[in-house]
Every structure is written in C-alpha cells, then in structure tokens.
Amino acid sequence: MRMADRSEDDPWLWLEDVDSERALGWVRDRNAETENELAALPGYAALRERLKTILDARDRIPYVGHHDGRFYNFWRDADHERGIWRRTTLDEYRKAQPAWETVLDLDALARSEAENWVWAGVSFLEPHGTRCLVSLSRGGGDAHVVREFDVALLAFVDGGFTVPEAKTSVGWIDADTLFVATDFGPDSMTASSYPRIVKAWRRGTPLDEATLVYAAQPDDLSASAWADRTPGYARQFVLRQVDFYTSELFLRDPSDGRLIPIAKPADANAFALRDQLIVELRSDWTIAGRTWPQGALLAIGFDRFMAGARDFDVLFAPSATTSLDGIGATRSALFLTILDNVKNRVVEWHRADGRWQRRDVAVPGMGALHVSAVDEYESDQLFLTVTDFLTPSSLSLMDAGSDARTLLKSMPAFFDAAPYAVSQFAARSPDGTNVPYFVVMRKDVPLDGTHPTLLYGYGGFEVSLTPFYSGVTGEAWLAQGGVYVLANIRGGGEFGPRWHQAALKENRQNAFDDFLAVAEDLVRRGITQPRHLGIMGGSNGGLLVGAALTQRPELFGAVACQVPLLDMRRYHELLAGASWIGEYGDPDDPDEWVYLARYSPYHNVAPGRHYPRVLFTTSTRDDRVHPAHARKMAARMRDQGHDVLYWENTEGGHAGAANNEQTATMWALTYAFMLNQLN
C-alpha cells in the first residue's frame, strides 16, 4: 500500500522551485534581513576579517596526493579565490617554503571561459600516466563536468575525453578507455539522481556510442565501475549500490565483459588488495560453519575466495569500546586506524611467508589520527596526520615497519590554546545507553552555568565525530568565551555498525534522545544553562538540531541549522533524497510514515509554542540536500510568528560556500548570531 501524495497540504511548496523568481525573491529578502542584523553586531566585521585571514593563511598545511614522483595540492588563498592546482617534489615539500609549479589556475580558467568553476577533484591514469580526468563544478554542486588534462603539457587535451555536466562517476580502464557512469539521457539516472548505467568509452568515439557494461535498477542508489591497475594484479570491478548500506560487487572479465559475482554479504564492503580480498562486515556473517562478528575486518586469498574458500584471517574484531575507523594500504602493508572510546590508535598488518603479521604502531595516543599511503602501487611510505582540539594538526612521513616519523608540516596556532582543557564525559540516554562527549573549555571557569556553550552533533550514516583542530572554532568561539561540545551520539560510527544501526529508521529517536541527554548533562554539571546553550548541526545534523528544537525547545537558547534535512514527508522526492530511505525509512509506506511523522521537524513545529531563535543557512547550489528544506521550515516558522533568521548562499553546494570569502562570511554570521543570542 502506498500513501497518497500530500503536497497539496503544503503552502510553501513553491519554495522547492530552486531558481524561480518568486523563490529567489523570497531568498533575497531573507538574506537582506539577516545580513542587516548580524553584520551590524559589534565585533562582526573584525571577526569576519580574522576568519578570512585564517582561511587564507599561507602557512596552513598543503595536503598532497602523490602521482608518479610528484606531489599535487589544490590551494586557495587571498590571491587565488577559486584556487590553483600545483605540484612539487618530496625534497621541496620538506622545506618550509616549497617551490610549487602551477598545473592549473582555476581563477584564470574561470575568467577565460566565463564559467563559475569550483574544483571537484582529479583522477590520474595510474601508476605512471601523464593524463588525468579533472572534475569541475559550476557553483560547487555535486554535478560536475569531466575534462581530460595532460600534466606533462599542463593543458587540457585537445579532443580528449569530456563528459558533460552531471553527477558522474568516471575512471580509467587504460590510456584510451574509460568507465563512465553518467546521465546518458532518459531512464539513465536512478530515483536518487545518480547514474544507474555504466559504459566503457573508447577514445575517438562519441560518448553515446560507448559500450554498455552494467545497468542497475531505477530504484537503486547508483552503479559504478573501476579498474584496479596494481601491477601483477590488474582487475576490473562493477558495483551495484542498492542503497547506502547494501550492494552487489562483480569481477568483470575484460575479454568478454562477463560479470562474476563476488559472494560477499549484501551489507558488507569488500575490495581487492593485491592477492587478497578484504571484507568489512556490517552485520554478523555465518558461513562454512563459523560466525564472523559485525564490525570485523576479514582477509582471504582473492582467487581462493572466488573458488569457494571461506577460511578468513581476522584483521580486526570489535569490542564494546572499539571500532574500525579507517583503512590505508601501501605497497606491502595494510594500516588500520582504530577508535577506542573515540580515541585513535594504529595497527599495521603485512604478509610474510603467506601469513598476516601484526604490529601496533607507536603513535600519539590522544586526539584523532589519519593514515594514508603516499603511493599504494610502488611505495611503502605513508602520511600520518595527528590532530586534536587544542594542538595544531601535523603531517608526518613514515615507513611501513617503522615507528620513526619525519615531521613534514604543521598547522600554525591560530588561537592561544594554553587557557583551555579537553575533557571527555558521558551522558545517560533514556534507555540507559552511555553517550560519550568531549568538552573544550577554559581551565579556570567556575561551574556556575553562565557560560555560552555550543553543542555540535551529527548522528547518522555511520559517520564518526572525532577531535579536530579548527582556527575558526578557536577564534570565533573559544576565544570569545565559549565552551565547545562534540557529542558522539548513536547513528554515528564511533562504536562501529551497531552504534549506527541503533538509530536507523524506526529507532531514529535514539539519536535525538542521546543529543538531548548530552544537553541535559551539560546543565547538570553546571557548565551551562538552557538560555546559554546553543546547538549546531549540518545536513543530517541539521535534521538532528531541527528535531531537538521541536521536541525540547525549552532546553536551548539558540539553534544554527545548516544545509538541513527537515521535511521528512517529501525528502525522498527532492534531489538525492531517495538514496536515504535505508537510513530514515520510506514516507510513502504508511507504517514507516508513522515514526517519521513523529519527529519530522517541518511537521512538528507549531504556533503558540516558544522556540529558541534559529539561524537557517543553506546554498542555492546544494544539489544533494534541497535548499527547500531550510526555505520551507523558515517560512513556516515565520508564518507561525516565530523569530527566525535565514541566509542562503547562492554558491557552495552542500558545503554551503565555494571559496574562502564565502566561508568567512558564513561562519562569521553563524558565530555572531550564536554569541549574540547566548551571551
């Protein structure tokens, strides 16, 4: 049974027409109101200028990716608003002021082509090709054009591969052939607005004559394909992504295009690592007389698995407090980043004499760690990033098998961290679950409940929130006397798949309850009081703070709701929304709409109730979460007589801003709002 569409009951439906003059006129009026008020606050101009200086700082870490002996970096600063793509050598990169060679100047390209280009990434022909595929977005959305570029000639390839603007997945098969999943015309995109058809495109032929590789179902999330070009282990793969959490993986025979299923569990992730198949489990897997636990990472010989063997090696098994946070592979080693009570450690695995061998890597034990290979094809070097709330991030170079680290770069201190301390507490959710959270505050402040406090959360899609260093947060909030709180609520991945699945679909209220429990715990500890407590969240986190706003408005003094998801009746009909049914449920299913209706912020905000003041921010060019979520919620609340502010950037995509200038404005408005409401 399907529910009838109830859009006729929505008086603000016209705000879903993104670029209509009526909708944009409404946006311009709201933007003017917001900017006139917030930009006039004492300290706003100085704060915005300081944030712009931080974002443009030339001594930030220029993170790099390696290809064929060169280290590439995309960089924005005051002189490069849209950015430059540049490269250097490792010897130069080690220096305080490396000599960079500009590969592509995006500002110059945008001027010459009269296009609003925003960098969207690059894919090289590995391991030694000079050709790459550059992705460029108009205004910062997920849709982008793809153009072939030659890094030897420093120019786009005349007559080279070009894919028109779409939500595209593209990758090299060989120097003259690509896998392309894009908008091929009618019926080629899924209901989630992603490609459902993959083709192999030969150089010199029209895109519409490319050879069909695979077609997913219209209700699937997407389809994609890629070639693993590891020397000696070249393979091709096709992925049918049914939804966010289930998929089918195929090995493609390049001789005849035949697809051979890789018999992993539907909700598991799997990938080839030279002669091994690595499988990451999201639920228990019972096979060949043994049960492998949810959250485990397994390994087995690739060819043996395809022949029917199931005698896995266990590279990671979770505990009550540990989960797998990241995986990085060098030429001969596999590095696992593990979360233990939301703190990272690193384990290295390598194969010797046909067996996996393990060692713990000696790395800092506090904060967040990230490991990535310099070159997974030919090198055993890796980058290690170390960060926490109060210590500027650092980037070091390591070798597999060694604990020695060479510091390459460190971020400057953008604020004085000496007065602050980081604590980790736990709040008790209504069902008895302990929910950890971090608090960053001055060491010497009395616990008298007077401190402006900002509580941030996300709680979805198995995304873990870990400590991070931010000059923007430090200057705009901590240095202004604020307390910063990061909540590790259910729905995230801090304790593995079980932590995420505890807030799926009909259990979504658990994430909201956890967040509210943290807020109450902050009050109980004397850190703050409701009139001084603000909450902030973006995307799924915007849904989180929207639900908190409507369920417990008396608990908060201000809300910053960013690029949010708020209308749970129509979310699946807007842009990529259909892809999230596995996370939230299907509003057209009467049984599932029952629980969605209970918390949908757009349907639960009511006249006659007192709500804390809200600042909604979004982007016209967000083609992932429709800006109508924020538009309609703000319009409904205004119509009901509630005091809200609304600001919509005309660029920026789901990030909300397309360059440092816009980012500085967005954060200055947000923090000026919070400081004004909570002090």
Q: How far apart are CA 456 and CA 548, in angstroms?
A: 12
Q: Which of 424, 345, 346 is nearest to 389 (CA)?
A: 424
Cβ pair 374, 67 in contact under 8 A: no
Which residue is catalytic, options 135, 539, 579, 600? Answer: 539
- Contact yes or no for 362/347 (Cβ under 8 A): no
Q: Which residues contact 502 (CB under 8 A, 6 or more apart)?
A: 433, 490, 491, 510
3-class DSSP state of 325: strand
Parallel, antiparallel or unpaired: strands 276-280 and 70-77: unpaired
Rounded distance between C-alpha atoms, residue 249 and residue 271, angstroms: 9
Under a CB-based contact definition with an 8 Å cutoff, are residues 245 and 267 in contact? yes
Give yes or no: 610 in active site: no
Cα(674)–Cα(483) distance, integer angstroms? 12
Distance of alpha carbon 388 from alpha carbon 488, whole angstroms: 15
Q: How far is CA 566 from CA 386, 394, 461, in A?
A: 35, 37, 16
Taking the C-alpha atoms of residue 222 and residue 216, their distance in angstroms, rounded to an integer, is 7
CB 382 within 8 A of CB 432: no
DSSP letters for 244-307: SS-EEEEEE-TTT--EEEE---TT-EEEEETTEEEEE-SS-EEETTEEEPTT-EEEEEHHHHHT
Residue type, 619: S
> Distance (Å, rounded) from C-alpha 592 to C-alpha 283?
23
Q: Distance between CA 471 and CA 47 in Å, rounded?
A: 12
Instruction: Say if residues 226 and 198 touch (Cβ distance below 8 Å).
Output: no
24-38 in b/e form (b: 16+ CB < 10 A) is eebbeebbeebeeeb
CA-CA-CA-CA torsion sign (526, 531, 536, 542): positive
| Burial zone of 291 (CB within 10 Å; 0-12 exposed, 13-18 middle, 19+ buried) | exposed
At a CB cut-off of 8 Å and minimum separation 6, what does 417 contact?
390, 391, 474
Closest CA to 616 of 666, 550, 553: 666
d(CA 488, CA 511) in angstroms, rounded, equals 10
Q: Which amino acid is at 163?
A: V
C-beta of residue 614 within 8 angstroms of C-beta of residue 627 = no
Structure tokens at 44: 């706003």
Tell the residue number behind the tokens 């990434």, with chain if given: 121
From the list 472, 485, 491, the residue with the least C-alpha distance to 520 is 485
Angle at 587 between CA 583 and CA 591, to 5 degrees: 95
500 flagged as catalytic = no
The catalytic site residues sit at 539, 654
